[in-house]
A = this chain, B = another copy of it.
Amino acid sequence: MFFLKELPTRQMLETYSERYPGMNAEAVAEALRLLRRGSLLMRELDAYFTGHTLSQTRFLVMIVIDRELERKSLLASEIADRLDISRPVVTETVKALSQAGLLSSIPDPEDGRAKRITLTPNGQAVLASLLPGYFAIIADFMARPADRTG
């Protein structure tokens, strides 16, 4: 998260730019807007999931399983790959979601080390119930002018 509220003014960046000749003031300004805007959207989504006893990561874990077309299950390592998060986080997230009855994991019959993780019917229902609100937050956020996003 990057929440610098008042981004540097153009003039401040020019000043830095004189001190640090290699720097590209326009690229920096654009990057800071990107970071700020992304963080604000993330904060809104986090609040949404927290309000539903979930988290961004737990939601995304369910999403990547749900969106598999030819398979019903993923291995923990596959989830970690698709989400670009560390494996311990997957372990912990799957444990929590399983306890909540949203996922189930069964030993892989073809690989004694692996577990196949699937959405339970309840998990599918919860995911389906969350998506409209998720899309609504995004649509609302993207419709706001960038400088009014915060």
Q: In the complex, which residue of chain B has the Cβ closest to the Cβ of A35?
A: B38
| A interface, over-half SS | helix
Q: Which chain B residues lie closer than 8 Å to A135 at the CB level?
A: 16, 20, 22-24, 28
Of A4-12, A101-109, A115-123, the one touching chain B = A4-12
Q: Which chain B residues lie closer than 8 Å to A19 at the CB level?
A: 128, 131
Q: Are A81 and B30 in contact (CB under 8 A)?
A: no
Given A16-B131, A31-B41, A34-B38, also A5-B83 (CB < 8 A): yes
A-B contact pairs, 8 of them (CB 8 A): A3-B84, A6-B82, A19-B128, A23-B139, A31-B41, A34-B34, A34-B41, A84-B150
